[in-house]
Structure 1
């Protein structure tokens, strides 16, 4: 070991590691606990390299050292966050839910926040104005309204001027009425695509010149339903899947401009996206009016009426703590090497892995077991099912 410590290769390993560790610690904008984690991963290449130098000789030790450096660098690149400074971020859909919580969270961290709201005089907008700092600006922004998108661009560009806009978070979205894809009217499909996909695409295209100036971040709020097929989410899931694919293509195309793109696929969180009772009445009426007689007969009145109880039950199955989503969005905005895809929430990553890595019949079987307590359409019921419904 004395010979090893005095060898040029040993000193080279130690010197490179020390430089690596000091640089990582100086750039890390984290808590003492996180900095200790960074230090550990910085020391790992030297420890393994020196050990392998002693056991495997110069060639083997050098290979292990370089491989460990590569792994540590990749890991630390995702752990090191850039300073907030005076970075400006636009968040759409800030009236309620994730967008509302995110606007508050980013404002509390010192960001200059542009909060796009559907109703500038609504309770959500008033709450933001009352509880946030003077850095936050409200924007009247319906992402399906090209005029409002253009006006928002002019207002933001006037404020950020030559520095550009650091981040755009396309969060605005609608759920529609969760029901079997056969039952949903075409207007539901079109509306989901208009808000969840076309609105996000138009807003992204409009604001990309400002992101190019800052070499900033584009973050698209997709959904677990945008990565895996889930029953009753044909319209919503298709629109979010389109957004996820758009994110992937933009991630590749915009990398040459230094712009980083990420998609967020949250699982079930309590955001209020399911809407109000009045909205349900309207959507349910539209659904019923557009059903052909034979389809209505096949599913049965009790099955159709059970769709509303599914909506009422949804919030009880959702996590009220939005912090996993907020943390992932922050990482996408500030990490030196952000991930292309984030899956905050219980089950989001697991189900995605099962869908991608296992045979489809396996995934379908798991989903069917998860939904085994759901009502059955009239024409598919056995006598046992009928007796349960009585």
Structure 2
């Protein structure tokens, strides 16, 4: 009996491996629109897909970012300046994409653009601090997606939304975790709604990687600015020691994973595999720490987090 059980389990994993290794044909005919291509995951993915022969439409926030990406890629890759928080900019980008893809539709949308600050204990922040992140990471993502759904539906394509391990566990205050939880919820509802049209929606949940979003100087400077503007009463309640320990934790981000391809390979698989995963956990910390942690009882998670 045990032998049969082991054989059945082995067959399942072999079949699963075979199923997920199947790659689509005619990739060179497919258009993919990526947001946040100035640096980090978006920039690497744009270059990676361009190297595979796909027709990449890369959205950058700055002209400099667009020019540098064009210099590093083939003539197939096209760029556009996009501010996901500006609905007029989003609408213009959607019209531009429609002109590029024509009647074939848009095969892939990768919502990668995101920011991580202002982040701090919730009491230290204002409503505007929360909205600054939410407008980019969640509302902007939704706006871009809604503008491009008709083109994706026409191609029976893919939507790839970049969430985070912070979309499973709330480690910090501010809008970042809230935005990533929102990305998870929006993606789940979108996947169920568009399934009958042949559209697949995938979620990327990276752990900690070395990008501008996790730059300790960038985050540390922001935290210091927030601390300095706090009322004396709030500072007295939290104490200088609390702030100093927070700064020390931020400095540990210098040791995070620099192999960004672990994330972009997940994105590429979501776009090019015949049978993509619904969720991708990228990085050993995501797989071995944060994902298992998200399944533990809340009281236990609270206790473990209090030890950090």
- Could you state the TM-score of these two structures normalised by the residue count of structure 1? 0.71
User: What is the aligned-residue RMSD (CA, Å)?
Assistant: 2.6
The residue aligned with 1:29 is: none
Q: Deviations over 1:209-254 (max 9, x none)?
A: 1101110000001111111121x24421111110111111111111
Verify: 1:300 aligned to 2:239, yes or no.
yes
Change (3 A) 1:69 1:345: closer
The residue aligned with 2:209 is: 269
User: Once the 2 structures are TM-superposed, how far is the Cα of residue 74 of structure 1 from its aligned partner?
Assistant: 4.7
The 8 Å contact of residues 85 and 110 in structure 1, kept in 2 or not, is answered as: yes
User: Once the 2 structures are TM-superposed, how far is the Cα of residue 310 of structure 1 from its aligned partner?
Assistant: 4.0
Q: Deviations over 1:170-213 (max 9, x none)?
A: 00000003322222332221111110000000000000011011
User: Once the 2 structures are TM-superposed, how far is the Cα of residue 355 of structure 1 from its aligned partner?
Assistant: 3.3
SS of the equivalent of 2:283 reads coil
Larger radius of gyration: 1
Aligned residues: 303
The 8 Å contact of residues 104 and 155 in structure 2, kept in 1 or not, is answered as: yes
The 8 Å contact of residues 88 and 114 in structure 1, kept in 2 or not, is answered as: yes
Gaps of 5+ in 2: none
Change (3 A) 1:156 1:273: same
Change (3 A) 1:198 1:259: same
Verify: 1:227 aligned to 2:168, yes or no.
yes
The residue aligned with 1:367 is: 305
The residue aligned with 1:318 is: 256
The residue aligned with 1:105 is: 48
Verify: 1:339 aligned to 2:281, yes or no.
no
Q: Deviations over 1:282-332 (max 9, x none)?
A: 66435532x343221011234335544544442x22111111101100111
- Distance in 1 (CA, whole Å) between partners of 2:217 and 2:11 is 56
SS of the equivalent of 1:265 reads strand
Of 65, 71, 95, the match for 2:38? 95
Gaps of 5+ in 1: 1-50, 53-63, 372-390
Verify: 1:147 aligned to 2:88, yes or no.
yes
The residue aligned with 2:19 is: 77
SS of the equivalent of 1:197 reads helix
1:105-254 maps to which residues of 2 (within 5 A)?
Answer: 105-120=48-63, 122=64, 124-230=65-171, 232-254=172-194
Q: Deviations over 1:74-133 (max 9, x none)?
A: 54332211132221101100011111111111111111111101112x2x3222111100
Structure with larger RCO (C-alpha < 8 A, sep 6+): 2
